[in-house]
Amino acid sequence: MSSKQNRHPFVVAKSVAMKKLENFFAEQPPRKIEMVRARLHQLTRRDVLLFGAGAVAALAGGGFLLPRETLNRLGVRRSMDSPGKEWFLNRALRIDDDVAEALYSANRRVPTYTKSQITPLKNNYNGATPDPGYISGWNLILDGLASGLSVSLDIRNLTSRFSLQEQITRLVCVEGWSAVAWWAGLRFDDLIRAYSPVSQAKWALVESSVNLDAYGNPDPYFMSLDLATARHPQTLLATHFNGQPLTVDHGAPLRLLVPVKLGLKNVKAITRISYFAEEPRDYWAERGYSRYDGI
C-alpha cells in the first residue's frame, strides 16, 4: 500500500483534488426533512395566500402603470392616470438619466467610421420641413455671455473665424434606427472659448425658431445641453454634410451634432444658443422622454 503511494504520489494527489472538485460541482441528493403535517399545512396556506396577494398586487400595479390606451383596449374605461403614476415613471426615468451621466466620460471618444461605412440619413424633421427662405437672413444669437451682451453671428463669421473639423460618426435616434454620416463643422468648445458664457453657467439652451409642427405652423424647438457635453471634442456645430454645405433637410445653415446624445438633441437650423446656471426646458423631456438622452 505504502510502496504504491510512493511510486505514484503525483497521480494520487491529483485524483483527490479532482474528486473534491467533482464533488463540489456534483448535484447533491436532496435532504429529507421530517415535518409535523399540521405545521406544513399551516406554512403552505401562508405561502399560497401570500402568493395570491402578490398576484393581486401585480395586477393592481399593472393597472396603475399601464398606459390609458392599453387599459382601454383591455376593457378598462375608467381613467387610471394620476400624479402618482407620473411621479413614479419619472423616478425610473431619472434613475436611467443618472446612469447615463455616470457612464459619460469627457475623455471618451465615440467610434468614428470610414467613408465606405456611410449610410443614408433621412430628413427626420418631426414636423414639416421649413421653407428655405429663412436661410438668407439667418443669424446665430448668443445669449447669457460673460460680457453681458447679446452677440449675433452670420454663417460667414462662423466658417471664416473657426477651423472646421470633419468627422464620420453614428447618429442614433430614440426610435432605434441610426445612420453613419459624414459631417464637418466648428467645435462647440471653440465657440464657447471665443464667447465665454457667464461664469456660473452649466447649461446651454439650443433653440430653432424656424421649426414647424406637422401642419406647417411655427413650433419653436428648444433643447437643453449640459456644458460638459457641449465641450466634448466631438460635439460640433455642423455646417457641412457629405462634403457639401448643409441642405434645408439637414438643418441649414448650422445644426448641432452631439454624437454622445440621442438624435433628438441634435438640433437643426439653430437660431439661438443661451447659457444658464439652471437646467433649461427641453422640448422632448416635456413630451415624456428623458432629459439628458445620453447614449
Partner 1 sequence: MPPAKQTKSTSTVPQRQHVLVVKRHHLLVRWSHWLNVPILLGLVLSGISIYWSSPVYQHKPDPTTGNFDVAADIGIWLCAHVPGLHRYSDSPDWIYNHLSLGPGMLALALRLHWLCAYSFMVNGMVYVAGLLLGGGWRSLLPRRTDLFDALRMFRYYIGFPFAKLLRRKWRHPRFNTKYNALQRAAYFSVPVAGCLSVATGWAIHKPMQLHWLAAILGGYNAARVWHFWLLWIYIVFLVPHLILVLADGWDTLRSMIVGWSTRLEPPAVIAHEQ
Contact positions toward partner 1, by CB under 8 A? 25-28, 30-38, 40, 43-44, 47-48, 51, 54, 58, 61-62, 65-67, 69-70, 73, 89-90, 92-93, 95-96, 100, 103-105, 108, 110-111, 170, 172-178, 259-260, 287-290, 294-295
Query: Nearest to residue 284, comparing CAs of 257, 271, 266, 259?
Result: 266
Q: How far apart are CA 217 and CA 210, in angstroms?
A: 10
Smaller CB distance to partner 1: residue 17 or 95? Answer: 95
Provide, rounded to whole angstroms, the least separation between the CB of residue 147 and partner 1: 34
Q: How far apart are CA 27 and CA 269, in angstroms?
A: 65
Smaller CB distance to partner 1: residue 44 or 157? Answer: 44
Sign of the torsion angle spanned by Cα atoms 21, 22, 27, 32 = negative
Smaller CB distance to partner 1: residue 27 or 278? Answer: 27
The widest CA-to-CA distance across the chain, in whole angstroms, is 102
Smaller CB distance to partner 1: residue 50 or 277? Answer: 50
Provide, rounded to whole angstroms, the least separation between the CB of residue 111 and partner 1: 5
How far is residue 17 from each of residues 2, 9, 12, 14, 21, measured CA to CA in Å?
19, 13, 9, 5, 6
Smaller CB distance to partner 1: residue 61 or 220? Answer: 61
Angle at which helix 83-103 crosses helix 37-65, to 10 degrees, equals 90
Are 141 and 255 in contact by the 8 Å Cβ rule? The answer is: no
Smaller CB distance to partner 1: residue 69 or 278? Answer: 69
Query: Nearest to residue 236, comparing CAs of 139, 165, 141?
Result: 165
- Residues 6 or more apart whose CB falls under 8 angstroms from that of 106 comprise 228, 231, 232
**282 φ, ψ to 5°?**
-140, 130
Smaller CB distance to partner 1: residue 96 or 131? Answer: 96
Give the Cα-Cα-Cα angle 266, 261, 227 (nearest 5 degrees).
85
Residue 199 CB neighbour total at 10 angstroms: 7
Provide, rounded to whole angstroms, the least separation between the CB of residue 9 and partner 1: 29
197: preceding bond cis by omega (within 30 degrees): no
Q: How far apart are CA 276 and CA 221, in angstroms?
A: 17
Provide, rounded to whole angstroms, the least separation between the CB of residue 156 and partner 1: 32
Provide, rounded to whole angstroms, the least separation between the CB of residue 28 and partner 1: 7
Please report where in the chains the cell 431619472 appears, as a residue.
94
Provide, rounded to whole angstroms, the least separation between the CB of residue 275 and partner 1: 24
Provide, rounded to whole angstroms, the least separation between the CB of residue 30 and partner 1: 4
Smaller CB distance to partner 1: residue 177 or 244? Answer: 177
